[in-house]
């Protein structure tokens, strides 16, 4: 994972990827003048972060599937709308 542009502790990983994908990322790394390992590490870090965010969003959505929670959320939105000078709320 990246912190301030620097890698914190490193581990080696051996993966098998399609030849076409390898050629593409190798060419991209060359064009951008970055090490292939740094490009792959950044891509994995970004993907891992997205998976974490998606998982959190899924859990939040599960909570708000509950009819009681949905009702409470709607009432809260109405209360906010009534206390605001905005004519139309975004939701």
Q: What is the pLDDT of residue 1?
A: 47
Q: What is the pLDDT of residue 43?
A: 94
The reported pTM is 0.59
Per the domain annotation, does 87 fall within a domain?
no
**pLDDT tens-digit map of 36-91:** 999 999 999 999 999 999 999 998 888 777 788 778 888 888 888 788 776 665 55
The parent domain of residue 34 ranges over: 18-82
Per the domain annotation, does 89 fall within a domain?
no
In this structure, what are the phi and psi dihedrals at residue 13, rounded to the nearest 5 degrees? -140, 135
Query: CA dist 19 to 15, 22, 24, 26, 44, Å?
Result: 12, 5, 9, 10, 18
**pLDDT tens-digit map of 18-50:** 999 999 999 999 999 999 999 999 999 999 999
State the total domains in the chain.
1
In this structure, what are the phi and psi dihedrals at residue 2, rounded to the nearest 5 degrees? -90, 140
Per the domain annotation, does 90 fall within a domain?
no
């Amino acid at each position: 994972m990246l912190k301030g542009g620097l890698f914190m502790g490193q581990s080696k990983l051996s993966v098998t990827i399609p030849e076409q994908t390898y050629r593409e990322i190798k060419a991209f790394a060359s064009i951008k003048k970055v090490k292939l390992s740094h490009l792959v590490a950044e891509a994995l870090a970004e993907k891992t972060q997205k998976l974490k965010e998606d998982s959190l969003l899924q859990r939040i959505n599960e909570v708000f599937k509950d009819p009681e929670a949905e009702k409470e959320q709607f009432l809260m939105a109405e209360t906010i709308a009534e206390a605001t000078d905005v004519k139309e709320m975004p939701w």
